[in-house]
Structure 1
């Protein structure tokens, strides 16, 4: 039984003093929680990587020989795990298990009995065909947290449809509000459906683990990628409620209510990302007044076109022309600095290379460098939540089956002879 399972049986009720409180600062937040990870590609691995960064033991279960599809599907070097896989599977362990063989399923049942959490994001119906539906897993381990991520709700009209990030973004309204007003829908550059679904699922798992300390019972967690995207669109639904119409595409303008500036402005240099985004509040004139002081245009303070947020929005093209005439004389970092120090919301448009090389972001741990056994030093985004009492050093994504001997031997008490036989039989 995992430490997490022991905690659910013997841990204190909510509001009482935990006996391990004195050692809390020496343990990671999820120390003792064991997660069995049947995820692939992005949405599921984001969830399990988040749990691993919080200190959970995440055991990634993969098919013998080939592993999770993301390992090789987008690799830039034949024979090596992809950068995509490395970025999404840090701090995990890897074992192989053939879930299509009876002996492999028997091993997996033993693993489930030792777990606190099981998570999968296979195609609709796949986990059930393997014999590991929620009801089946609950029979093995009644206290398990059983989590699933799918493209669409399992009881809805699209339950059996496949979905990747862009498909879910289309289904959840993201494409409909992205792009210019007179242009076609555009896929946002960020994978908000995949990563968003993974983070939503992690939130549900954390809540279920907390609830289990009181009830002693497990439960099923279900996240649909379509739902996750809808949740990111709350402000668009506020705009719909205001107008009574579907939220429109507004380019870089505010989607909710009238305000200007709300745009990227060209800066000195002329490169593809030599821009600074500037946004002023719709709740008053203080940002606008400060901006005019920075650019030396206090003469516009009493100009009727710009005296209220609503007036500025109605005349946003004139606002944009005035600001752009000034920003073109300065590089984007200078624009950001001058506006930021004056109390005006603004940011340079940083590209991925600028971000990953930023000394502050490196020192903060926003980007970390891990030592991969085949690729060597590898820099990737780290864990974005900083906790004073829980720090987990980043480790590289595991090679396929790297932890077979440890997990099967130490956890399930298999001998080396048994491991050799199972490997020979393609069970692991």
Structure 2
């Protein structure tokens, strides 16, 4: 082959520069939305999806498709709020609503987050006990101290860079689902034809699914991280934020949609995997981490327990700092304190004190004697019960011209936001009625 023919073939085999540029830009624009999506598949999420698949089989698969536009709409409104106003959710509420509304919102967040922190630490500890034989009550303080130390002496950005790779283990559920040879006709039917039952078990599970995907802490975290990104790009003044471009809003939308898609893809395949492996073999009640891990046996055999433990620890290391951090952002904004995870503890002492207190309160919950799997599941249910009032605040704020200027939420976003609040609120009421 001549030199000219070689170069010609090389040019033909390479992707067009424009295509390479679009792909590179797509990944470059991924930021808070993707981290939020990864943190959304926390130990509470993994446990809730596993319990759902084992209990109901393929039937709840439609919930992954159903919840996707709802969670995208809420997270996108939160992201736009932070980007355009330069304030987190608590800061925006403090500026435009009475103090009782502000502290009511913060109170709902703190209750949900403390319980969620305790549940996630318990899940990580039980998975570690399964692998090592060392009791879980030794592991919970170890993980709590490890996370606090990493936040104090490094940064969440470093934690995310390291532990986000462990969350790739969640893709094992996709491979396991394929190896388990599910009934694809039944899978497609369950995915696109919703089945609803008027029973306490079903409605509790539905509230839990919505609560672990559309969680209060993610609202505050998403807005706060967009504020941090804006400051890092030099957007300090109100005028600079008012000049937010359509392209910047489009980048945020791409980031949020990508993060939520990853989150719901994992959700879909965890339910599918546990339905194909556990439910299909008569295991409909999951009480321990070992039982949940056995869903991965078709792929990994005896290594299933190791894969499950790695995935639970990886997602926990991402999610628990987000839970504690979102609490600190909310309280700091409500009190007017300086506070950001980019600061050192010396510069933002009160901010980091909130992180430590929320972690310790969550840790205390781990010694009340509730099994980790149940605690993880009911933390998702609690999130589902507390989210609707906060969603209402998000929709109201992002619909106000005095808050968002020319970037108020579109009618579609507002409609989806109100729909989410109504569905989650109605499901929670139905759950109590059927109880």
If the length of structure 2 is used for normalisation, what is the TM-score? 0.24
Larger fraction in helix = 2
Larger fraction in strand = 1
More contact order relative to length (CA 8 Å, sep ≥ 6): 2
Which is greater in Rg?
Answer: 1
If the length of structure 1 is used for normalisation, what is the TM-score? 0.24
